[in-house]
Amino acid sequence: MHNNLAPICLFVYNRIDETKLTIKALQVNFLANESDLIVFSDGYKDENDAHSVRIVRDFVRNISGFRSVKIIESFNNKGLAKSVIEGVSLVLEKSENIIILEDDLITTPNFLDFMNQALSFYKDNKEVYSVNGFTLDVGWEEFVRLNDVFFHNRTYSWGWGTWSDKWCGDDFINQNIRKYMDDRNLSLFKKNCGEDILRMLIDCMSGANDSWYVKWVFIHFIKNKLAVYPTLSKVRNIGYGDSATHCKTIDVLEIKYDTQYSKDFKFSINAKVNHRISKNFLSFFTFRHKLLFRFRLIFKSEGLNLLWKDIKYKYL
């Protein structure tokens, strides 16, 4: 299988500190030196971003530690959504599978092992449309101890992979999304994929946000397909804060990070949603969880500072 590792696509913009940490973690992956890395660097929006984009480009041009490194620089600013959709489509024209990262994701050393093994195991499974390296702390210790994966309708965007025969760039065109947005589908979409997801989709279609991710979730839902998740997260996000494009608010997602770095995984042939796991998974996207998480910050050091930044970003 090592002769057929999925290419890694990394999307970067103007955050040099996060990009360096993302690359550093990826370089110590067990399969890094056998993997091909393709870096997509988006063009700057305006002169305020020009200098920081150049700094990131100077850095990525000198990356080592992989079988090969290819840099694709955009002259124009496409934005993350267009960059991801076009970049993934481009790579999948020549590759049967792909692993995608953004510039604020720290991976465990066994991240590439998990992703490649899962991509190989589920490539012919018509129920599975994507593989995730990130996961949430779904509780249920006995399940986590006995299983390395679970399945859900809602995929995620923090370190993921898919296959050429399951990805279609045309699926993301607005008119192809809108034709499935009837009341029944939207109601079930919210029920099956999270309290927050319907508003994200409506905002995306109205132009209030530019999200490829919510469309990818909707594509999974409409086609009744599943995403594979590890029970222990192989990814953590360091991108929340003032410099983030989409994640300026508080990170309310809690993970159980993989510290064992095993390269042997038990994959389930029977791909279906476990309702208890699903309930625990979706609880992180509820208003109640987000409110309680913020309330608990009051009693933590730096918590009030985070709350103040959150209020300023959302309301001021």
Long-range contacts of 284-288 (CB under 8 A, 24+ apart): 284/136, 284/252, 284/253, 284/254, 285/194, 285/195, 285/196, 285/197, 286/194, 286/195, 287/195
pLDDT digit string, tens, across residues 33-76:
999 999 999 999 999 999 999 999 999 999 999 999 999 999 99
Alpha-carbon gap, residue 71 to 11, rounded angstroms: 10
Residue 118 CB neighbour total at 10 angstroms: 24
Residues 6+ apart with CB under 8 A from 96: 123, 163, 164, 165
pTM reported for the whole predicted model = 0.90
DSSP per position, 75-97? SS---HHHHHHHHHHHHTTT-SE
Q: What is the pLDDT of residue 248?
A: 47
Q: Supply 32's token pair.
A: 């890094």
Alpha-carbon gap, residue 176 to 160, rounded angstroms: 23
Alpha-carbon gap, residue 246 to 208, rounded angstroms: 12
Alpha-carbon gap, residue 105 to 26, rounded angstroms: 9
Q: What is the pLDDT of residue 299?
A: 59
pLDDT digit string, tens, across residues 222-276:
999 999 999 999 999 998 644 444 444 566 678 999 999 999 999 999 999 999 9
Alpha-carbon gap, residue 65 to 82, rounded angstroms: 28
Domain boundaries, the chain: 2-285, 287-316
pLDDT digit string, tens, across residues 101-149:
999 999 999 999 999 999 999 999 999 999 999 999 999 999 999 999 9
Helix ranges (H only) for the chain are: 16-27, 47-60, 80-91, 111-121, 141-146, 174-178, 183-193, 197-206, 212-222, 275-283, 287-297, 303-315
Q: Which of 10-24, 35-49, 67-81, 290-304 has the lowest mean pLDDT?
A: 290-304
Do 246 and 80 contact (CB within 8 A), yes or no?
yes
Do 148 and 133 contact (CB within 8 A), yes or no?
no
Q: What is the pLDDT of residue 2?
A: 53
Instruction: Tell which CATH architecture fits domain 2-285.
Output: Alpha-Beta Complex (3.90)
Q: What is the pLDDT of residue 63?
A: 98
Do 66 and 99 contact (CB within 8 A), yes or no?
no
